[in-house]
Amino acid sequence: MAQILAFAGSSREGSWNRRLVRIAAAGAEEAGAEVTLIELADYPLPLMSEDLEAREGMPERAGAFKRLLVEHDGLLIASPEYNGSIPPLLKNALDWASRSEKEGETPMIAFRGKVAAIVSASPGNLGGLRGLLVLRMLLGNLGVLVLPDQRAVSGADRAFSEDGSLADPAIDRVVRRIGRKLAETVDRLLSREV
C-alpha cells in the first residue's frame, strides 16, 4: 500500500491550498493509499543557515519533518504562488530536509526514490501555475520523480464551497484524479521492488 505524505505550502488560516491538498488526498485514499496529512505550521523552523546548522545541528522539528519524508513513498503538495515562485515556508522546509543529520547518511535520503504530485490554487488567472513550475524543478533537483499531471486552480477565492470542497465538479474530479494517479504510480513502483 502506498504511503503518501500530503501538505500545503501555506500555513494561512483559510488557505485555498490547504483545502486543495485535502481534496487530492481524498483521491489518493480512494485508490487505496494511506495518506498522512500534515500542516507545515506544526514544523516551525528557523531560516536554513549552514552557520546555525554547524553550531546547533539540525533543528528538532526539521528532523521530525525529514523523518516523515523518509517514511513515506509519495508526496502530495499543494503550493501557492508567491511572486512567480513558491512560498518561503515550503522552500525552507525542503531545504532543511535535504541536509544530512549524520556522517555517512545517504545524500538526499528524504527525497531519493520518491514520487510527487503537485497542485496549486490562486485567485489569479494562472492559478499558481508559475509556482508549480518552480516546485517541479526544485523537486526534480532533489531527486523526486514528479508526475506530469498537475492542476492550477484559478479564481481560488471563488472556487471553493463553504464546506471546503471545489464548487466545480469537473475540477474536483481532476484534482482527485491526480491524487489517485499518485497512489497508483507509487503502488506500481512498489510492486516492482518486491
- Which residues in the chain show pLDDT less than 70? 193-194
Domains of the chain: 3-193 (3.40.50.360)
Residue 191: predicted pLDDT: 87
First to last CA, the chain: 12
Helices (H), ranges, the chain: 16-30, 50-56, 60-71, 88-97, 129-141, 156-159, 169-193
Q: What percent of the chain lies above the pLDDT cut of 90?
A: 91
Read off the C-alpha cell for 184: 497508483
What's the CA gap between 110 and 64, in Å, rounded? Answer: 11
Residue 194: predicted pLDDT: 53
What's the CA gap between 4 and 99, in Å, rounded? Answer: 21
pTM for the full predicted model:
0.96
Number of Cβ within a 10 Å radius of residue 130: 19
Residue 130: predicted pLDDT: 97
Radius of gyration of the chain (CA): 16
Please report the DSSP string for 83-102 in residue order: TTB--HHHHHHHHHHTS-SS
